[in-house]
Structure 1
Amino acid sequence: MPTLNWIGKDKVISHHQDVPYRVLEHKYGFTAENGEQKQPTESGNKIIHGDNLEALKSLLPEYEGKVKCIYIDPPYNTGNEGWSYNDNVNHPKIKKWLEKTLKAKEKNKVAEIGLDDLTRHDKWLCMMYPRLKLLQKLLSEDGVIFISINFPHEHAHLKCICNEIFGENNYLGDLTWESTTQPINSGSSRFKLQIKTEPILFYCKNKKYQNGFILEELESNLKYPHQGKLGRCRFEVIEKSDAGDYKRETMKFPILGQLPREGKRWQIGIDTARELEERNRLEIVDNMVKKAVYPEDEIDKRKFKPFWSHFNASEVGSALSGKEELNSVMEKAVGFDTVKPPKLIEELISHFSNDSIILDSFAGSGTTAHAVLNLNKQDGGNRKFILVEMEDYANDITAERIKRVTVGYKKEDKQIAGTNGSFNFYELGLPLFDDNQNLNEQVGINKIREYIWFSETRTPFKEPKEANYFLGKKEESVYYFIYEKDQLTTLDFDALQLIKTKGEQYVVYADNCLLPKEFMAKNNIIFKKIPRDITRF
């Protein structure tokens, strides 16, 4: 498979492994019923303010392999977007890029990557590669990713690195969206090719787990007016005349202990009858044996709306209508020039289960969460959204939009009903490990304990009632984290007195261990040294 090379590639290929794990600091919860609150909601919906590379790393313990659908809309690198390179990669050239960004920040400016920047494609690829690597790790085995991009700038480059990261065989196609319907009729642009559509790259994590998409069923003439043993069905007569040319003695045999009525014979042979009996597709109704036909039996006869690869603006909206809808929700002009309409994202994510986790790590104005809430309201689903936005408007625009969507807003003097819903807002906190790879005690013992539990069990941490270093019990494994700030801890016979919860296996973290290996093996005790044996994501 052909691969793409660029300045700094050799350093960013594994850069995602060097990104520090930072804790997520909960700032507030929000519910449509009660507004902002200090305590977290249990919605599972998250909005995170911070660098998306570090935020994605922070999501790994809880969400690795669990995200069903990712949609991202990264910078198109047109030279007019005002994005700058922010990643701290150990490469002389890349360090100069970062130095330029930091110097601009000191002056409250942005080190914009313009059309005259000869390394702008290298910078963009160095920015995208480690983020895509982490996104790939977050996807479930049957998960998919949609990436909005545009044709003339980075589309070809993006496809090359996606083939490298997700696998060429897992490329599902290029979708197209009619992003604009208005031509440019001024200046020299009117005489140039005008781009009407934007592509959306579509990849899956593992094609062998892709068994088709959920489709919207269209109206059909198939009816299921009766109630059978297995649910709604249609009962069909399986008898026919046994006279003249239709007479067949071999088609007279017991079904469900009953023969056909006088002058009748079965339409089905004995082998078919026995197979239908085994599948509970035959029942006695009004003293007659009838065949029960269920919706799943007629999947080939049912009609569905296809998952088309093109989206018309008339059906899902354009960039202009997306901008207008955002301004309506916010009741002011927000300043975003191009905004994806919620209906477009709804169309994408509607093809997956209604309890999916949906992630957008270039959240912008929050369109993806808006779409998730709309769909949940429409079909009663329980989809969860995770948004990451690094800009300072993460709270004032991204989160504010979602608040307004849940409680309702006005659109052209018409009141739009709220979707209901809730979320938690987070800021990226301190790194869990310091520069020497020791635990950073400034994050607090609770965050450290939470991380250890996640790394071991991949389940949410709940502070147990039992004190003395106990983390919890999962299945028959018991976990203890014997740790004290500013002093070493030892797993010895005295420390074993602290273990009150019984299990088949004991996983114990401490700085040192003085227990004999034979004793530990006999009692199924696994020692993990702090910080050496703590899992790094």
Structure 2
Amino acid sequence: MPILNWLTRDDDIRTAARVPYRLLEEDPSLSAGDGGAGNMLIQGDNLEALKALLPFYAGRVKCIYIDPPYNTRSAFEHYDDNLEHTQWLALMWPRLELLCDMLADDGSIWINLDENEGHYAKVICDEVFGRRNFVRQINWQRKYSVSNNFKGIATICDLILVYRKSPAFQNNLLPRSDDASARYSCPDDDPRGPWKAVDYLNQASTKKRPNLVFDIINPVTGNVVKNKEKAWKYERTTHEEHVREGRLWWGLKGENTVPALKLFLSEVRDGMTPHNWWPHTDVGHTDEAKKETNLLFGREEGFDTPKPERLLKRILELATNPGDLVLDSFLGSGTTAAVAHKMGRRYIGIEMGDHARTHCVPRLQKVIDGEQGGISESAGWTGGGGFRFYRLGPPVFDEGGHIRQDIRFPVLAAHVWFSETDRPWDGKGDRPLLGIHDGRAHALLYNGILGDKRPAGGNVLTRATLALIRDDIAKVAPDFDGPLTVYGEQSRLTPVTLDRERITFKQTPYDVKARK
């Protein structure tokens, strides 16, 4: 597969591995509402924030939407968008790698760009996500008019690149619009309900499809209807079945010269097939988005390039269901989080700038309070829910790649489990057994998890602590007879015993490495 090369590529593709794992520290003064709702707002560099989230959310995000800098060589109030092309690629590559790790197998990522970097992004996304996982390029009409003074060819569309994690991704249908439903009626009072007339003639000529050429009878007038230039769409046996089922429409008085087929609303899919042209009438435009943010923040505090809530609503309708997890690592003014909140999705929003605190927090607080802007009315939003606000804390590992001594048990447990299994950890952190994965059990003796910090106590593998671990294993998997990996400060068991018990012992902090 062709790849994109740039000046710093060799170094950039190793960036994600070098990013330190950091702690996430909650600031309760900026959290709001129900803290158990599963929503997170994180202030900090999104590359480091994504790395911090990996042990807990890898493979769990159903939909990622990002609106990264477009590299338009223009400066915005809240972003420095004046990046050289190489710098832009260096920015995006490691973030796309970590975002790919975050996606669930049936998840998708939607990347909002313009033509400045959109096609380069397509090439690197083919490499990161796999070319076979490219779904579609959406063309969003972000402007509804063009100035007559503009010279050249005006740009009124953005590109939205859509990739899936695997073929397990299946998009939803769009809700049926009122206009689409209005095409169905029931002028003949058919008890089967509303229907619309579908053309009965084929595009092929009678000469090309002679098997679809035959005489049919108008049952109202008794006239014989012959093919003239075009064949019928259906073979004779299928046509006769349509006649028996009363599916042909000749007009109220039989005035139609050829029949139409009744397509009943009750028989079509409960929704509409989406396509890749999204006009502003369907999903909003930038002026609409500015009006939304101006109402929220005031004209002086508004954003230059916000996205309309209707655009995010369309994406989440297609890519998620209620309760699914949504991630936006370039959160901006908070639109993705606000729309996800109103639509009953869980969300993680990451924003580096101060407006994570000055704009995103108050916006989401207004959502909790039931604000009625944007999609609130169409989503039936009246308020509720909550989120927790986090900042990036100190690194989990020191400069030598070893775990810091003051890390709490749940944090270390999550990293140990993730490094061993490549899966996020669901434990509560109250017992040394972390879980069983692929036929191997994993346990951690650390930070007095058994209530005994003496050298021969809870942080050391002894016959007593091993017996406690075995008891925990028996509770969750009575028939388990596989190998066991134990992390601890020391092991008092002999190599012969470890071998007989099929135990791999790893010493903390030295054997706990940052995952590459």
- Kept in 2, the 8 Å contact 1:44–1:423? The answer is yes
- Kept in 2, the 8 Å contact 1:49–1:428? The answer is yes
Q: Cα deviations across residues 414-438 of structure 1 (Å, max 9, x unaligned)? A: 9996432211111011110000112
Which residue of the other structure, out of 461, 469, 480, is the alignment partner of 1:491?
461
Structure 1 residue 7: deviation in Å? 1.2
Q: Percent identity?
A: 31
- Kept in 2, the 8 Å contact 1:345–1:371? The answer is yes
2:175 aligned with 1:216, yes or no? yes
Q: Which residue of 2 aligns with 1:59?
A: 53
How do 1:2-401 and structure 2 match up within 5 A? 2-28=2-28, 35=32, 41-81=35-75, 114=82, 120-151=84-115, 153-186=116-149, 190-206=150-166, 208-217=167-176, 219=181, 301-302=268-269, 304-331=271-298, 333-351=300-318, 352-376=320-344, 383-401=345-363
2:425 aligned with 1:459, yes or no? yes
Aligned CA distance change for structure 1 residues 215 and 185 (closer, same or farther; 3 Å): closer
CA separation in 2, counterparts of 1:453 and 1:223? 60
CA separation in 1, counterparts of 2:507 and 2:37? 35
Structure 1 residue 332: deviation in Å? 5.2
Q: Which residue of 1 aligns with 2:402?
A: 438
Amino acid at match of 1:170: N
SS in 2 for 1:350: helix
SS in 2 for 1:327: helix
- Kept in 2, the 8 Å contact 1:317–1:344? The answer is yes
Structure 1 residue 395: deviation in Å? 1.4
- Kept in 2, the 8 Å contact 1:491–1:513? The answer is yes
CA separation in 2, counterparts of 1:168 and 1:403? 40
- Kept in 2, the 8 Å contact 1:329–1:405? The answer is no
Q: Cα deviations across residues 334-388 of structure 1 (Å, max 9, x unaligned)? A: 2311110111011011123333211110000111112212322xxxxxx211111
Structure 1 residue 331: deviation in Å? 4.8
Structure 1 residue 481: deviation in Å? 1.9
Amino acid at match of 1:213: N
- Kept in 2, the 8 Å contact 1:51–1:390? The answer is yes
Q: Which residue of 2 aligns with 1:402?
A: 364
- Name the count of aligned residue pairs: 415
TM-score (norm 2): 0.71
CA separation in 2, counterparts of 1:199 and 1:362? 16
CA separation in 1, counterparts of 2:26 and 2:513? 23
How do 1:502-521 and structure 2 match up within 5 A? 502-503=472-473, 504=480, 507-521=485-499
CA separation in 2, counterparts of 1:44 and 1:69? 15
Aligned CA distance change for structure 1 residues 156 and 473 (closer, same or farther; 3 Å): closer
Q: Which residue of 1 aligns with 2:202?
A: none
- Kept in 2, the 8 Å contact 1:24–1:428? The answer is yes
Structure 1 residue 501: deviation in Å? 4.0
Aligned CA distance change for structure 1 residues 348 and 449 (closer, same or farther; 3 Å): same
Q: Which runs of 5+ in 1 are unaligned?
A: 85-109, 226-267, 269-297, 377-382
SS in 2 for 1:398: helix
CA separation in 2, counterparts of 1:47 and 1:19? 20
- Kept in 1, the 8 Å contact 2:414–2:424? The answer is no
Q: CA RMSD in A?
A: 3.6
Q: Which residue of 2 aligns with 1:99?
A: none
Structure 1 residue 536: deviation in Å? 1.8
SS in 1 for 2:443: strand
Structure 1 residue 8: deviation in Å? 0.5
Q: Which residue of 2 aligns with 1:532?
A: 511
